Amino acid sequence: MRTRRFYKITKTLLSYGLDDLIPARWLPWTIRLGRHALFWLPNKHKDKPAGVRLRLALEELGPVWVKFGQMLSTRRDLLPPDIAIELARLQDKVPPFDGHAAQRIIEKSLGLQSISDCFADFDTTPLASASIAQVHTGKLKKRDGELTDIVIKVIRPDIRETINADLELMETLASVAANHLPDGRRLKPKEVVKEYRKTLLDELDLMREAGNAIQLKRNFENSDMLYIPVVYSDYSRHNVMVMERIDGIPVSDIATLQARGVDMKKLAERGVEVFFTQVFRDSFFHADMHPGNIFVAKDDPRNPRYIGIDFGIVGTLNRDDKRYLAENFLAFFNRDYRKVAELHVDSGWVPKHTNIEEFESAIRTVCEPIFEKPLAEISFGHVLINLFNTARRFEMEVQPQLVLLQKTLLYIEGLGRQLYPELDLWKTAKPFLERWMNEQLGWRAIVRSVKENAPYWAEKLPEMPMMLYENLRQQHNIDERERQLRRQQLLTQKQASTSLFWTVLTGSGLICTTLLWNQSELSEVTIGSGVVTVILGIMAWRTRPKTTNSELI
């Protein structure tokens, strides 16, 4: 099976001429010889650009490789722009599997005798089908007898075995590339495949997705910007997830949105605000916000609200990442490149030994031509990409959380400008970031910190006198032990010096005795010298340091 699959992959890659993407000078003679040996697999698509050939090859290899191409399309720090743009066009259109098989999976996972025990009107024809799962509609029977419209997401049968097999082959190809390509170390193919493995396997666990959805819904409870459908966790398992069915307009259906009178400017600006709220307020953001996962509610066109689905991939940022990221954005707004360079060093994104002046100059070289354009025409996402590409020249390591952020920002910006071409993302985001920074660093931050920690302080306040006493007592004991240790060290040094003195004399006596012994027969002088040497040796032994390591502790 693995051999056949490997041959299928090799045949597909060669028939689309993907070996041409690697300069011949980079390939060792063994690989070039192997390519010539496969003469019956010529490039059948020489008339197509490299990016198109790569996209078509991935589509032919199947859903696992399609998703890999989709992920690669976000890594514009690794790929030429034309190839990244072409990979972004990959569409995950996968034929559905048998709906009756999906029904059996649901029954087995939930322990049902029949699907009708929990669900009414279950439709075996899937509503949507993707590479990892497909979705069916039905109605959930609640305990009070009420019926609720739901969708049931079901993982494809045997998909895990297929994914594991393809991932193993990907890892093999990545190892070959890393070991044989001159640029293999910079491109980090093994790390890219490892990152993809984690992302893909996380998507196979629908309980993880359910948890992400519940968290996002709690973060945006009663929000007029974003609605997250209800997840029925009691009816969800690792391969089955039951969720409220939503009624919305696909965000990519611009004609319908305009026909219904949706305020497109407000809708676009709210998309930006939703993104920055998730990132900076919640530190928990939907990292797969492409148009297929976003809908617009129908209830209030003048006050439009987003509906999000598919929560298999989320990103998180820690407190330091958020602060440095916000400060970086604001420094860019103000064209303070020195500040941008210093922030990269302070955050640890680039090494401490980085020359700030050189780094600042490199950033200015990249960004100043961009800022010559009107702000409304500047791509926020591409500025971030250019920044990361520049930082990589200064040994910046790939930050996984920032890669997810970059991908999501590109989605949001592209979506916003599709909805409202005049969208000025900079103007929309800057007040939000300034407000957030003031809340983090100003007096509001102090007040919030006091409120957050007040219960803990109140709990510990009665213990503080005893804790203070114990701390002082321990400090006193530590000081006393240090004094004893210093005294013991001085004594040991003194003993060592004395012992060394007697040892040197003993050695000298031994040498004299040996010389006298060799020059004459046994005499009184020789005997006297030997006696003196023995006495000196006894003194050296008696004055040796007596302190052991355990006594010094």
Residues acting as catalytic residues: 288
246 is in an annotated binding site: no
Q: How many CB atoms within 10 Å of residue 69?
A: 21
**141: Cβ contacts below 8 Å, ≥ 6 apart:** 118, 119, 120, 147
In sequence order, what DSSP letters do the residues of 478-508 get, joined into one string?
Answer: HHHHHHHHHHHHHHHHHHHHHHHHHHHHHHH
134 is in an annotated binding site: yes
Question: Edge-to-edge strands of the sheet including 226-227?
Answer: 226-227, 306-308, 294-297, 248-250
Q: How far apart, in Å, are the Cα atoms of 396 and each of 341, 356, 421?
A: 12, 14, 34
Phi and psi at residue 151, to the nearest 5°: -120, 145
Radius of gyration of the chain (CA): 35
Angle between helices 425-441 and 400-419 (to 10 degrees): 140
Query: Which of 153, 160, 158, 151 is closest to 204 using CA atoms?
Result: 160
Query: Which of 332, 312, 309, 328 is closest to 320 using CA atoms?
Result: 328
With contact defined as beta carbons under 8 Å apart, do 304 and 270 qualify? yes
Q: What is the dihedral of CA 528, 532, 534, 540, to 10 degrees?
A: -170
Sign of CA dihedral 286, 291, 294, 297: positive
88 is in an annotated binding site: no
404 is in an annotated binding site: no
d(CA 312, CA 153): 12
**Environment class of 411 (CB within 10 Å of its CB; exposed 0-12, middle 13-18, buried 19+):** buried
Which SS3 state, helix, strand or coil, does residue 134 take? strand
450 is in an annotated binding site: no
109 is in an annotated binding site: no
287 is in an annotated binding site: no
131 is in an annotated binding site: yes
With contact defined as beta carbons under 8 Å apart, do 117 and 106 qualify? no
Q: How far apart, in Å, are the Cα atoms of 457 and each of 151, 447, 466?
A: 47, 14, 15
Compute CA 68 distance to the chain's CA centroid, rounded to the nearest angstrom: 16
Q: Known binding site for ATP: residues?
A: 127-135, 153
Q: Known binding site: residues?
A: 127-135, 153
